[in-house]
Amino acid sequence: MSQPSPDAYEQGRGMDAHNEVMRDIRARNDETYDPTEPTRVWLDEDNTPDGVYQSLTIILNTGGCRWARAGGCTMCGYVAESVDGGSVGHENLMTQIEYCLDHEAENLDDGEKAGLIKIYTSGSFLDEREVPAETRDAIAEAFSDRDRMVVESLPDFVDREKLREFTARGIETDVAVGLETATDRVRHDAVNKYFDFEDFEEACAEATAADAGVKAYLLMKPPFLAEPDAVEDMKRSIRKCAAVDGCHTVSMNPCNVQRHTMVEELYHDGGYRPPWLWSVADVLESTADVDAIVVSDPVGHGSDRGPHNCGECDDLVQTAIKDFDLRQDPSVFDEVSCECEATWEYVMAEETTYNQPLVN
């Protein structure tokens, strides 16, 4: 992977020390990726304001998030999977879309199509350095027969005119914004994202002006937070996001240990443990009363590098979380129990420092 070099857009943003470390870590990656194939594509079910939809999730392989190439977020390794060189052209991006449509056709019954399309770039779909305007318009046309779309973007690039390319075609459209936390200090110092909560509020206003909605993505337990601090931060953040006009869904993502990240460096040194699945359940149960859809999709659950409990109950708690996502019924968590819940309660009462987890 080429050595990332900040341009004028990135200079002066984030923490210089974090950026320097992240650039050094990512420069160790020497893998290359095919610009004609998406990073990932899969079918699933998702809860939306219009009900549960069959969904097709697409992670386009672009030149990567411009913020990540400057240094970027402490937990995010997605840029390491991006095409070397910093950009992917229109033709190759549309070839990736065709690849995803073929995947859908091969895995659904004849003629069936996913009602919800989710497109991520591991950066900003609305950043024209990642996805050219020509490609954005072509993608909007390609999926104009679907009911809903979700596109990913940092707040900077959320623009009502760009979103109207989708809403004007009759597609219910949402912007997924990686807010990570409603607490500016945690976002700046622990995650190393440069924007403030008020920028998220402005992005919500831009989306609303285009008759689009916003799905806030939060990060449970970034580095440098102890487990109880991370849980309380998520509870506050979900409530604060749900109170913003235009934000109808909050997706809380438990941190997992991705390659070529600062979190991975801490993890190998014994200074980071991914969150407990009991913590995820606790946050969802405690915020079930907010006026928004609140969901979570723990990636890598049950593994050492992903959110986990003791290993015996991980699948059961994950199933309860998935059930909650679809039904929004906190009583699902009454159906799961394990002896390790007492250990988690001890951690919640006694853990006070991030760099010495009480339990691995």
113 pLDDT more than 70: yes
DSSP state of 309: S
* Edge-first strand listing for the sheet containing 247-254: 40-48, 51-59, 116-120, 148-152, 172-180, 213-220, 247-254, 293-296
How far is CA 332 from its chain centroid? 24
Distance of CA 83 to the CA centre of its chain: 20
What is residue 234's predicted lDDT score, i.e. its pLDDT?
98
User: What are the backbone angles phi and psi of residue 194, rounded to the nearest 5°?
Assistant: -90, -20
Who wins on pLDDT, 150 or 30? 150
Tokens describing residue 178: 């990686």
Dihedral, CA of residue 316, residue 317, residue 321 and residue 326, to nearest 10: 20
Domains of the chain: 16-350 (3.20.20.70)
pLDDT attached to residue 3: 40
Measure the CA–CA gap between 88 and 33, rounded to whole angstroms. 11
Q: How confident is the model at residue 8 (pLDDT cuts 50, 70, 90)?
A: very low
H or E element: which one contains 314? helix 314-327
Q: Which two tokens stand for residue 274?
A: 């991914």
In this prediction, residue 355 has a pLDDT band, given cuts at 50, 70 and 90, of low
User: Does residue 2 have a pLDDT over 60?
Assistant: no
Distance of alpha carbon 232 from alpha carbon 83, whole angstroms = 37
Q: Computed over its alpha carbons, how large is the radius of gyration of the chain?
A: 20
> Binning pLDDT at 50, 70 and 90, where does residue 9 land?
very low
Q: What is the mean pLDDT of residues 295-324?
A: 96
Whether pLDDT at 248 is above 90: yes
CA pair distance 321, 287, nearest whole angstrom? 13
How many whole angstroms separate alpha carbon 312 and alpha carbon 59? 32
pLDDT digits (tens, 9 = 90+) for 158-188: 999 999 999 999 999 999 999 999 999 999 9
The residue among 145, 137, 152 whose CA lies nearest residue 104 is: 145
For the whole prediction, is pTM greater than 0.85?
yes
Helices (H) and strands (E) counted in the chain, each on its own, are: 12, 8
Look at residue 59 and give its three-state secondary structure. Answer: strand
Q: Tell me the angle at which helices 277-286 and 340-350 cross, rounded to the nearest 10 degrees.
A: 70
Q: For the chain, what is the mean pLDDT?
A: 91
Does residue 4 register a pLDDT over 50? no
The 8-class DSSP code of residue 250 comes to E
Task: Please tell me the predicted confidence (pLDDT) of residue 356.
Answer: 67
